[in-house]
Amino acid sequence: MLHTALHPSVSAASEGVLPKWAVASGQRREHMERVAMLLESWAEDLGLSEEDQFRWQAVGYLHDSLRDERPEVLREIVPDDFRHLDGTLLHGPAAAELLQKDGLTDGEMLSAIAFHSIGSPGLKSLGRALYAADFLEPGRDFSREWRAQLREQMPNRLDDVLVEIIRARLNHQLERGSKISEHTVAFWNGLISS
């Protein structure tokens, strides 16, 4: 059932239908569905309107819609501000850019998708929830018990859960000797100072 009050891409995505330009394997689509189901559940738990529940679910499907595209293709799509990112982090900004070109003007959704892998202090509740859901979805293999405990705290303790997630991601990046995005650092700093 299409939701006529929403942008066509959002309405379709809330039903699990991705844009024509999406590049996502079957396994990736399963991950996206799990993220979408978490977000829909959390939106319902928060008492959000039906339209917002559809938006949250759509973001769950759209966030990784370009995750399986080659980094050199994504680098040509993303705005200049994102071109310096590691190739594995380009899919969010690229998807947001293509959705915007398709006429989506919902800034909260676009920001959530663009920053879902790196975070940003400007993320609103949808973006913050997507950042958490992407990490916490039950299909991931690592730290299952710990992530289940964090999921149980959602959505009411979102900021506390985000601190734990970002701490784990930062530790992982530091252990690997990876560069940490200035957006991630600002997201962390914003959370621990609030």
pLDDT in tens, 64-102: 999 999 999 999 999 999 999 999 999 999 999 999 999
- The whole-number pLDDT of residue 179 equals 87
- The whole-number pLDDT of residue 114 equals 98
Across the range 99-127, mean pLDDT stands at 97
- The whole-number pLDDT of residue 150 equals 98
Report all structural domains of the chain as residue ranges with CATH numbers, in order of start: 8-192 (1.10.3210.10)
The rounded distance, in Å, linking the Cα atoms of 156 and 153 is 6
């995750």: which residue's tokens?
67
The rounded distance, in Å, linking the Cα atoms of 151 and 31 is 16
The rounded distance, in Å, linking the Cα atoms of 35 and 11 is 17
The rounded distance, in Å, linking the Cα atoms of 31 and 130 is 13
Q: Which residue has the higher pLDDT, 4 or 146?
A: 146
97 within 8 A of 73, measured Cβ to Cβ: no
The rounded distance, in Å, linking the Cα atoms of 146 and 8 is 37
The rounded distance, in Å, linking the Cα atoms of 13 and 15 is 5
The answer to whether the Cα torsion of 150, 115, 68, 97 is positive or negative is positive
Q: What percent of the chain has pLDDT over 70?
A: 97
Q: Assign 5 a pLDDT band (cuts: 50, 70, 90).
A: confident
Closest CA to 14 of 56, 65, 44: 56
The answer to whether the Cα torsion of 125, 158, 39, 86 is positive or negative is positive
- 6 DSSP assignment: S
Across the range 126-152, mean pLDDT stands at 96
Q: Assign 16 a pLDDT band (cuts: 50, 70, 90).
A: very high
